[in-house]
Structure 1
């Protein structure tokens, strides 16, 4: 899978590396894979961003344990950065009492940024939150934003094209679900992950639908649960990155 992904051109915009659910050592072999992937060039001429995976149990995992997982990626023995940021998984979508849950994730984002800047003061950290569904708009509030990118859909193709799409990337207490474009000046704040996509035609339709729904990133695969992310799609990565490039 990694060999196929490394050879793909244009390269994927973002790749998430997940050794042992984020807690196996990010050792020399993993760091070497990350370095090769970061050498890829995307359709927009940028380099592939590689992220380390960290699970958070909807904000219930102990903060010290989460930070230790972050350190696994960002504090390498050679003193260099081999990833461009962190992908926080199993993220709560709700603000919590007095925005406490939101503020927990904002603190984690700050921890990632500080750790990366300690190694390279000019580096730009990329932080992703994955609630897997629309997220409360408090997470994108100015001065309290918890991530650069939010995975606001993670489910099957059948749900994506049926009744599983809630109608927006964000929601608020007064106006319900909405695209969230007013909170996304870069056009890259939202990411849709769709699995059990039946064929390449459906993959292309999925990407078009994702971008129409306000996603700046999208990925479609035919693989199924319990883990659709540990194997490449049957149509291979190149056809997907090629098609994404035609859509902008």
Structure 2
């Protein structure tokens, strides 16, 4: 399901079923979420706004700037991801696995080996989170997947890599055809069908999908569905076939994912899905909380601080070279406790914790006395001169309802940001 090309070979195998009709299912999805391949640039259309406004029926959107995350930060995508996440849509990033080189596909570096494709795939996961993790990215979509048990270990490995490095990440594998049951633990959700409406009406879901207890394990993508009546039938079939995630569109090849349905076609699809809460399979959607931001000035600009139900997140741009990047945190809302920031800070703050580069410290007194918090990394990421940190709430006992942050580099201190829930 690449941004601009749907591989003919992948389409051809969609008609291969397991010989079991949908009516023989022992399980069926009663409510669903729409999961949209959002292969359209937010700067050139209103489709991302339409997505956000269509929550909670729309539960998942797949972002795809350039058959992957690209190499440069895009503020338009950042804003779209944040707006969708705030609305309750889980946004996941597109990663091309290239069938792990088994078909001769080359990586961007011209290599075909399994190891090279693994390295590129894991690198794209890291880039996605480096560029957009701060903005609410919720997981990864692994495209151009394989469906046989001989290769399932490759997908289990990138799934494990993603979840170990990005807590709460939701993962989807897309072989574009019915995967064998061994893939049930290779990702949270599996695309079991990707093809035209004409193919879908004659397709048979495999027995393990029909009998599986959790419909959120399965995702169907149906394009070239010309009329609203066809859309309604496709939605009915997808429920009978136990798909918890579905997307039906009148758009067609070469890229059926570069628009959204509109009008009564779209509203009917949303209604038929019947989803009433945030989407995201077997893991919790990205939590939404309170953020504060300020432009800053001089050496430290574009500062922001957020709290959600799992973490505190901080971001700042350092416009001059500094060796130590500090974020001072008043977590108990009491300026009399913790480290008292010196002049020229505009506030004494009372910092109970300090982030220094990629280490979190706890204040031991009002003076310069700190103890590193063991077993916790602020997960510092750097994009150009912009630094981001994420600190789990579990590392910060006794949080007040609101907290304050001050950013520091050399002798420059920002004003106080107050944030919370």
TM-score (norm 1): 0.80
Instruction: Indicate which of 215, 222, 233 corresponds to 2:250.
Output: 222
2:177 to 119, 133, 136: 133
How far the C-alpha of 1:81 sits from its partner, in A, is: 5.4
CA offset at residue 233 of structure 1?
A: 1.6
Q: Distance in 2 between matches of 1:247 and 1:111?
A: 31
- In 2, the alpha carbon distance for the partners of 1:72 and 1:241 equals 32
CA gap 1:247/1:30 in 2 versus in 1, 3 angstroms = closer
The 1:71–1:9 alpha-carbon spacing in structure 2 relative to 1, beyond 3 Å, is closer
Counting only pairs closer than 5 Å after superposition, residues 58-97 of structure 1 correspond to structure 2 as 58-60=99-101, 62-76=117-131, 80=134, 82-96=136-150
- Normalising by the residue count of structure 2, what TM-score does the alignment of the two structures yield? 0.48
User: RMSD between aligned alpha carbons?
Assistant: 2.2
Which residue pairs with 1:106 in the alignment?
156
Aligned-partner Cα distance in 1 for 2:62–2:268: 19
2:63 matches 1:22: no
Q: What is the aligned partner in structure 2 of residue 245 from structure 1?
A: 274
Aligned length: 215
Shift of residue 58, structure 1, vs aligned partner: 1.4
Query: More helix per residue: 1 or 2?
Result: 1
**1:139 Cα offset (Å):** 1.3
Unaligned runs of 5+ in 1: 41-46, 118-123, 169-176
1:142-188, Cα deviation, whole Å (9 max, x unpaired): xxx110100000000011113xx1x22xxxxxxxx314255x43321
Measure how far apart 1:82 and its partner are.
2.4
- The structural deviation recorded for 1:3 is 2.3
Structure 2: unaligned runs, 5 residues or longer: 1-46, 102-106, 108-116, 278-421
Contact 2:57 2:276 in 1 (8 A): no
Confirm or deny: 8 A CA contact 1:75 1:81 kept in the other structure.
no
Describe the SS at the equivalent of 1:75. Answer: helix
